[in-house]
Amino acid sequence: MKNLYLAIIFLTFLSCDAQNKKTLSEYSCECINQISTELSQPKLKAEIQQCVSDGYEKYADEVQEIMTDFNKKNPNSDLTSTQNHVRKVLTHRLFEECPKYSEITSDLILKQRDIMSDLITNIANEICEEINLLEETKLSDKIVDPILIKYTIKYDREIRNEYDLADKRQRKKFGYDLSYKLMADCEKYKLFGIQKQK
């Protein structure tokens, strides 16, 4: 009987130890998977933020390790840029490992900025097709900017008919509309676009 109790205690310990082996992104994803997508947009954002905040607390060692690695590579960085790096690392991991996070984020982006323009849709579709042909999996300004410029030049007249590009606010609106449409509809662009918004 004593051996049975010892076996139960040992198995319980192993089970607890296995649970502690989760990563920050795994914990956050499990938490996000419990969120109802029927919630309002503000509540949905708040629930996701709560999952992430809880994860930061429970996995403080992993967060500290990410911050330490970043600070070693960027010794002149301040606390804000270090915290932003942690957020970007987690966002990247969640996009790769957590389909529900990716789905919710896309829906939030679409609801945040409803883009009805056929022109923006056409430009975004062509840009997305070209981005999907790239061998690179991690996008950067150096890769994306020439593609954006190419299609902005190609559709210059149509863009000017829809946006008054002489007006700074209209230029920004065009840029935001295109970026949001790409984030909503182009999976490969999504992570890059979201990180650019932050």
pLDDT value of residue 198: 52
What the block records as the tokens of 123 is: 């430009």
pLDDT value of residue 2: 45
What's the average model confidence in pLDDT over 153-180?
90
The per-residue pLDDT for range 44-84, each reduced to its tens digit, is 889 999 999 999 999 999 999 999 999 999 888 888 888 88
The number of C-alpha atoms within 13 Å of 57 and in the hemisphere containing its C-beta is 5
Amino acid residing at 33: N
How many C-beta atoms lie closer than 10 Å to residue 69's C-beta? 12
Per-residue pLDDT band at 144 (split at 50, 70, 90): very high
What's the average model confidence in pLDDT over 13-28?
66
Secondary structure (3-state) at 66: helix
Average pLDDT, the chain: 83
Per-residue pLDDT band at 192 (split at 50, 70, 90): confident
> What letter would DSSP give residue 38?
T
Residue pair 155/179 in contact by the 8 Å Cβ criterion: no
Per-residue pLDDT band at 22 (split at 50, 70, 90): confident
- Of 84, 68, 87, 81, which is closest to residue 25 (Cα–Cα)? 87
Res. 113: pLDDT tops 80: no
pLDDT value of residue 114: 61
Res. 110: pLDDT tops 90: no
Task: 133-136: list long-range contacts, CB under 8 Å, 24+ apart.
Answer: 134/188
Res. 100: pLDDT tops 80: yes
